[in-house]
Amino acid sequence: MNGEPIILGMELRREALRILALADPAAKAAATRAWFAEQGTAPVAPDRAFSAGTDTHEPLPGRPPRPRLVDPAQVPRRTPFTLEGRAALLHAVAHIEFNAINLALDAVWRFAGLPEAYYRDWQRVAAEEALHFTLVTEHLASLGHAYGDFDAHDGLWAMCEKTAGDVTARMALVPRTLEARGLDATPPMRAKFARAGDTRAVDILDIILRDEIGHVAVGNRWYRWLCAREGLDPVAHYAVLAARHGAPRLKGPFNMAARRAAGFGDEELRALDRIGPESDGGGHTAR
């Protein structure tokens, strides 16, 4: 556990905040997985209001000094047909998964007054993201590299900060927008690794895609629940939230089967179909 034992009996949301503040990626991933495995009956304290400044004195999210975070346009395009390029692409996936751990932990501690099932859902998501990060970084190590060796960008966490005051916006614009873009980008990336002969990367991406369908479904489920609670039309309100918080413009091609499995409705899928097959051309996962 890298010196970061789970504190048994601690409230689930407080423990999520403590783990979020951990800066060492391996320690955070291990602590997250143990938190899920060992705290199935821990009290949730759904109505308690936590404060990052009061309940932890560490910066959020905790993260290492590397990778260097740059503008997305400065992250170079990579090919999986060289060892260095393959490592760089895997590093991009590792960075996404590390951020996804942070996003799920933040969803647990930050928002009060929700059903216990909401917190349990995001606890499970955090643990699965931690597994993904561990699998990717282990494979990255087999290629002679470690997390932090390549530049990365901070788009996922930036949207987390924009939606810190509105759980409905968080559900709309992180899991079912930014993370859903990973459903579209993973199959083309998988195909490239397959052509490069990296069967281990293919296997890992299969695991990630399988689990991410479930993670996006969690976002869809709670977004719709929140809209129903507030008397809002989820499709119309999504457009309001996307404009309010500057959500990125969606680009095709879209993995319609995965999106349908993740809970997107017919109206939403028809809207995506009208966008067309435009691609960002880079082979990057978009999360």
Please say whether the beta carbons of 234 and 224 come within 8 A. Answer: yes
**pLDDT over 50 at 8, yes or no:** no
- Assigned domain for 78 exists: yes
- Assigned domain for 4 exists: no
DSSP 52-78: HHHH--S-SS---S-SPB--GGGS---
Residue length, the chain?
287
**What residues make up the domain containing 249?**
12-275
What's the pLDDT score for residue 9? 47
Return d(Cα 5, Cα 229) in angstroms, integer: 38
CB-based contacts of 196, cutoff 8 Å, min separation 6? 80, 81, 86
User: What CATH number is given to the structural domain containing 144?
Assistant: 1.20.1260
- Assigned domain for 112 exists: yes
Return d(Cα 48, Cα 186) in angstroms, integer: 38
**pLDDT over 90 at 154, yes or no:** no
Is residue 90 very low, low, confident or very high in pLDDT (cuts 50, 70, 90)?
very high
**pLDDT over 80 at 101, yes or no:** yes
- Assigned domain for 263 exists: yes
Please write the tens of the pLDDT for every residue from 170-211: 999 999 999 999 999 999 999 999 999 999 999 999 999 999
- Assigned domain for 93 exists: yes
- Assigned domain for 132 exists: yes
Three-class secondary structure of residue 278 per DSSP? coil
Is residue 75 very low, low, confident or very high in pLDDT (cuts 50, 70, 90)?
confident
* Total-model pTM: 0.89
Domain count across the chain? 1
- Assigned domain for 7 exists: no
What's the pLDDT score for residue 114? 95
What mean pLDDT comes out for the span 225-239?
A: 96
- Assigned domain for 72 exists: yes
